[in-house]
Amino acid sequence: MAVQSPSLDVGGAVLVVPRPVAGGRGYWQSVGRRLRRDPVTLVCAGILVVLVLASIFAPLLGLNDPYKTSMLRRLYPLGSPNHWLGTDELGRDMFARLIYGGRLSLFMGVTPVVCALLIGGMLGITAGFLGGKVNMAIMRVMDVFYAFPSVLLAISLSGAMGAGTENTLLSLTLVFIPPICRVSESVTTQVRGFDFVDAAKASGASTLTIVRVHVLGNVLGPILVYSTSLISVAIILAAGLSFLGLGVKPPEPEWGLMLNTLRQAIYVNPVLAALPGVMIFITSICFNLMSDGLRAAMDVKA
Amino acid sequence: MLLYALRRLIYLVPVAFGVSLLVFGLVHLAPGDPISAIVPPDAPKEVVDKLKEYYGFDKPLPVQYLRWLGVTLTGDLGTSIGTGRSVAQEVGSAFGNTIILAIAATLFAFTLAVILGTSAAYAKSRIVDRLVTSISLVGVSIPHFWLAIVLVIIFAVELGALPPMGIGPENSTGWRFDRAHLAHMVLPTIALSVIPLGVVTRTVRSTVKETLSMEFVTALQAKGMRDSRILFHVLKNAAPTCLAVMGLQAGNLIGGSILIETVFAWPGTGFLLNSAIFRRDLPILQGTTLVLAGFFMLLNLTVDIIQTMVDPRIKRG
Across the interface, whether the CB atoms of A156 and B153 are under 8 A apart is answered no
Least-confidence region, from A50-54, A60-64, B295-299: A60-64
The pLDDT value given to residue A128: 92
The pLDDT value given to residue A12: 39
Chain A residues whose CB is inside 8 A of the B278 CB are 245
A240 touches chain B (CB under 8 A): yes
Cβ–Cβ < 8 Å for A123, A207: no
- Residue A197, domain member (yes or no): yes
Chain A residues whose CB is inside 8 A of the B149 CB are 259, 263, 266, 273-274, 277
Across the interface, whether the CB atoms of A152 and B153 are under 8 A apart is answered no
Q: Which of A160, A267, A273 sits opposite B29 (nearest CB)?
A: A160
Interface predicted TM-score of the whole assembly (ipTM), two decimals: 0.86
Q: Which of B29, B140, B158 sits opposite A161 (nearest CB)?
A: B29
Instruction: Please state, in angstroms and rounded to a whole number, the distance separating the CA atoms of residues A230 and B81.
Output: 37
Q: Residue A132: give its domain's CATH number.
A: 1.10.3720.10
- Residue A4, domain member (yes or no): no
B75: left (phi over 0), alpha (psi -120 to 50) or beta: left
Number of domains, chain A: 1
Instruction: Please state, in angstroms and rounded to a whole number, the distance separating the CA atoms of residues B92 and B103.
Output: 16
> DSSP string spanning A193-225?
TSHHHHHHHHTT--HHHIIIIIIHHHHHHHHHH
Q: Structural domain of residue A119, as residue ranges?
A: 24-63+81-298
Across the interface, whether the CB atoms of A144 and B158 are under 8 A apart is answered no
Instruction: Please state, in angstroms and rounded to a whole number, the distance separating the CA atoms of residues A152 and A189.
Output: 30
Q: Which residue of A has its CA nearest to B34?
A: A160
Mean of pLDDT values over A23-29: 69
Residue, of B99 and B165, whose pLDDT is higher: B99
Least-confidence region, from A77-86, A252-261, B181-190: A77-86
- Residue A164, domain member (yes or no): yes
Instruction: Please state, in angstroms and rounded to a whole number, the distance separating the CA atoms of residues B221 and B29.
Output: 61
**Shortest CA gap A232–chain B (Å):** 7
Across the interface, whether the CB atoms of B296 and A141 are under 8 A apart is answered no
Across the interface, whether the CB atoms of B158 and A270 are under 8 A apart is answered yes
- Residue A251, domain member (yes or no): yes
Q: Assess whether pLDDT exceeds 50 at residue A294.
A: yes
This prediction's pTM: 0.87
**Shortest CA gap A206–chain B (Å):** 33
Dihedral sign computed on CA atoms, order B49, B50, B55, B58: positive
The pLDDT value given to residue A17: 53
Residue A93: beta bridge partners? A87
Residues 174-213, chain A, touching B (beta carbon < 8 A): none
Q: Assess whether pLDDT exceeds 50 at residue A142.
A: yes
Q: Which DSSP helix (H) or strand (E) runs through A7? A: strand A7-10
- Residue A256, domain member (yes or no): yes
- Residue A110, domain member (yes or no): yes
A270 touches chain B (CB under 8 A): yes
- Residue A2, domain member (yes or no): no
Confidence of residue B35 (pLDDT cuts 50, 70, 90): low
- Residue A9, domain member (yes or no): no
Mean of pLDDT values over B5-28: 87
Task: Report the percent of chain A where pLDDT is more than 90.
Answer: 46
Kindly state the DSSP code that residue B164 receives in the 8-state scheme: S
